[in-house]
Structure 1
Amino acid sequence: MLLNVTLASIQMAKPQKPLLSAIIDLSSVLTGPMYVGFSSSTGSLLTSHYILGWSFNMNGVAQVLNYSLLPSLPRVRPKRGSKALTISLPLASAGLVLIVAGVVAFIVRWRIKYAEVLEDWELQYGPHRYSYKDLYEATKGFEDEDLLGIGGFGKVYKGVLQTSKSEIAVKRVSHESRQGMREFVAEIVSIGRLRHRNLVQLLGYCRRKGELLLVYEYMPNGSLDKFLYGQDKPTLDWATRFRIINGVASGLLYLHEDWEQVVIHRDIKASNVLLDHELNGRLGDFGLARLYDHGTVPLTTRVVGTMGYLAPELVRTGKAATITDVFAFGIFLVEVACGRRPVDPTADEEKLILSDWVLKNWQKGSILETTDPRLGEAYAVEEVELVLKLGLLCSHPLPTERPSMRQVVRYLEGHAPLPELSPTYLSFGAFVQRRNDGVDGRIMSNTSQVATTSVLSGGR
């Protein structure tokens, strides 16, 4: 049970004091017949190992080696005069060192290039987490030739996953590491469970350094705004526009009321409505969406979204809710019907704010004159008038006067008539006047009360 190790040069007697001495109990190892011998291995360079002699004794002291009887040590250096070896060996060693250094440098650069932010708690989210390497290869290194669009929150690239060959859209969004990142990623993964024919499927995400990458299914026809304002896209006829409007309304109803949680999109606009192979509208870009349980109050206090689609109370309080989504959807309705942006700085002062312009034309009895002129006369008058008036109702300055998305869907599908409302009732000026007269915003005039009752009658 005692192991002594001694070391001495040839021709010297075995030292009395061991270099290393340790008590080792080998009774659990030496349980049967055993072999005693030597083993060796080579490293990165070619080497040779020799045993010139050894003695062994099971009990007692081993026999002393007679060095005179040991064979000569093999030559370990090249013979004198062998210039080839003298030159080639150092060169080979230097070359090997350079190769090893190059490999190490390549590995370091590779790890830096594809480095990700990955914490232990993210492992529970499973396949929703994509590796940065896969997304980098899918988008060919995020080259501009695969750039689908640029928004206020990042760039979107087309990609093809190498494993499944499926087409994807990858949005790169800058983010700051913060305490709530875990909850934010949990929401992103939860949104990935949404399933509706009029929603763009969020497939997963990836976090790397200072950016967040959101992976969506690819929509071949791009965003709706390209068809409304782009010069290289054909004009959408009214039947297609009305089908897109109904699809987005159905998707929003699912988010607000029919899923297991309430989802506030917070960025409804034409550029976030994507078109599939058959030009069906799908609401996408859930990077700003927030979730909360049914029956509870959302806690968001940060104003996010796009100018022109923001509800007035959202700007004042920063609190997003389903009714602020309804406001943005109302602006979207007017935008699709008129083929004009919600705010156009290049337009005449009268047409600067789209909803105000439509409201003024309604007051003059010429609301249909705001219809997109590219439609010509090939549209259903009743549907266009419904969409324009419903858009103004949804974007009413008073949140309590806006319909829910369930009511909106009923109006669009013809299951409930749109309330008889006057243009004055929908104007922001009338709302301000009521507030200046000391009327509580929650208390309407007789006309408003009738309209409210009519609106609610089509509800849940």
Structure 2
Amino acid sequence: LYVMKNVYVGFFASTRRYKNADVIEAWELEIGPHRYSYQELKKATKGFKDKELLGQGGFGSVYKGKLPNSNTQVAVKRISHDSKQGLREFVSEITSIGRLRHRNMVQLLGWCRRCGDLLLVYGFMANGSLDKYLFDEPKIILSWEQRFKVVKDVASTLLYMHEGYEQVVIHRDVKASNVLLDGELNVRLGDFGLARLYEHGANPSTTRVVGTLGYLEPEVPRTGKATSISRD
């Protein structure tokens, strides 16, 4: 009985350690930038405290953080367990933005996956998202010159995604809240959780309609196809 008890306790302890470990799967070795440990990001965001919360949406929450070893300011996107996209969104964001390089795209620094926790780490954008400067009586009114620069920079990013990369990358959710601004109000397109990649010249397969109401082109719900012409 004593032996059986110790075997049971040992098995339980090892199982618990396994569950809390940062298990690496095969697909993770083929993609993206640096992988962070859960403890690093927990410490960086002070335990994901509410006072570090930058924003919240259907995908989950974004927290401001400072990496303990480098003091680099970051934004940590914690995908909600209730997110409809979940692991698919997580992998999509890594495989798309993780390989793209453009001055007007938000920089993906790395990721973390531990059991049900899915986290993405980005460079910190000091001025938040563009929608804060367009709606709800903003504190700062952007000049027409600044607004034109935003439009030009977003267009430059989409041109690169559609024609300048080895594959066609369709964002599928371009809107003001996904356009981020750094400390000098330079544009960074972000949130690639709904992005899809396909080969140049290929006909994108029919998929379910995704995106944000009010930003969808009228032909997308009818055809179910998002392309570089219609979607972005």
Q: TM-score, normalised by structure 2?
A: 0.81
Question: For the Cα contact (< 8 Å) 1:194–1:201, is it kept in 2?
Answer: no
2:151 aligned to which of 222, 245, 259: 245
Contact 2:31 2:98 in 1 (8 A): no
Rounded Cα–Cα distance in structure 2 between residues aligned with 1:258 and 1:191: 14
CA distance in 2: counterparts of 1:157 and 1:252, whole angstroms:
27
Distance in 2 (alpha carbons) for counterparts of 1:116 and 1:302 = 32
2:76 maps to: 170
Are positions 1:280 and 2:191 aligned together? no
CA distance in 1, matches of 2:150, 2:39: 36
Cα distance in 1 between the residues matched to 2:121 and 2:137: 28
Given candidates 78, 100, 103, the residue that maps to 1:197 is 103
Q: 1:141 aligns with which of 47, 66, 81?
A: 47
Q: Distance in 2 between matches of 1:150 and 1:274?
A: 15
CA contact (8 A) 1:171 1:213 kept: yes
- Give the partner amino acid of 2:55: G
Matched, 1:306 2:218: no
Are the equivalent residues in 2 in contact too, given 1:115–1:132 (CA < 8 A)?
Answer: no
State the 4+ residue runs in structure 1 displaced beyond 4 angstroms.
110-117, 181-184
1:187 Cα deviation from its structure 2 partner: 6.4
Are residues 1:159 and 2:65 paired? yes
Q: CA deviation at 1:153?
A: 1.7
Q: Deviations over 1:288-347 (max 9, x none)?
A: 111111111223502211110012222123221112333xxxxxxxxxxxxxxxxxxxxx
CA–CA distance in structure 2, aligned partners of residues 169 and 187 of structure 1: 15
Query: 1:245·1:281 contact (CA, 8 Å) conserved in 2?
Result: no
Matches within 5 A, 1:389-400: none
Aligned to 1:213, what secondary structure does the other structure show? strand
Aligned-residue CA RMSD in angstroms? 2.9
The alignment partner of 2:47 has SS state of coil
Is the CA contact (8 Å cut-off) linking 1:153 and 1:173 kept in structure 2? yes
Q: Give the direction of change, closer, same or farther, for the CA distance of 1:167–1:183 in structure 2 (3 Å limit).
A: closer
Name the residue aligned to 1:72: none
Give the number of aligned pairs.
217
Q: Partners in 2 of 1:127 and 1:269 — Cα distance?
A: 26
Equivalent positions of 1:285-364 (< 5 A) are 285-299=191-205, 301-326=207-232
* Equivalent residues of 1:173, 1:213 under 8 A apart: yes
- For residues 112 and 247 of structure 1, the distance between their equivalents in structure 2, rounded to whole angstroms, comes to 45
C-alpha separation between the residues in 1 aligned to 2:50 and 2:160?
Answer: 35
Q: SS state of the match for residue 215, structure 2? A: coil
> If the length of structure 1 is used for normalisation, what is the TM-score?
0.43
- Correspondence 1:224 to 2:130: yes
Partners of 1:184 and 1:157 in 2: CA distance: 16
Residues 299, 136 of structure 1: alpha-carbon distance in 2 compared, 3 angstrom cutoff:
farther
Q: Residue 239 and residue 128 in structure 1: after superposition, are their counterparts in 2 closer, same or farther (change >3 A)?
A: same
Letter matched to residue 148 of structure 1: L
Give distance in 2, aligned partners of 1:159 and 1:217: 10
2:166 paired with 1:260: yes
Shift of 1:269: 0.3
- State the shift of 1:204 in Å: 2.4
CA distance in 2, matches of 1:268, 1:278: 21
Separation in 2, partners of 1:137, 1:306: 33
Identical columns (%): 66
Aligned position for 1:270:
176
Could you list the per-position Cα deviations for residues 84-122 of structure 1 after superposition, in whole angstroms to 9, with x for gaps in the alignment?
xxxxxxxxxxxxxxxxxxxx9xx98x9589544532442
Maintained 8 Å contact 1:220/1:276: yes
Which has the greater radius of gyration? 1
1:154-209: CA deviations, max 9, x gaps? Answer: 21111111122211111122469xxxx69973762342121111111122222233
CA contact (8 A) 2:34 2:111 kept: yes
Alignment of 1:406-445 (within 5 A): none
Contact 1:187/1:291 (<8 A) preserved: no
SS at match of 1:256: helix
**Shift in alpha-carbon separation, 1:185–1:300, aligned structure 2, 3 A:** farther
Change (3 A) 1:186 1:240: closer
**Residue in 1 that maps onto 2:7:** none
- Amino acid of the structure 1 residue aligned with 2:59: F
- Structure with a larger share of its residues in helix: 1
Q: CA deviation at 1:262?
A: 0.7
**Cα separation, partners in 2 of 1:258 and 1:175, compared to 1, 3 Å:** farther
Distance in 2 (alpha carbons) for counterparts of 1:242 and 1:215: 29
Q: 1:245 to 1:127 in 2, by over 3 A?
A: closer
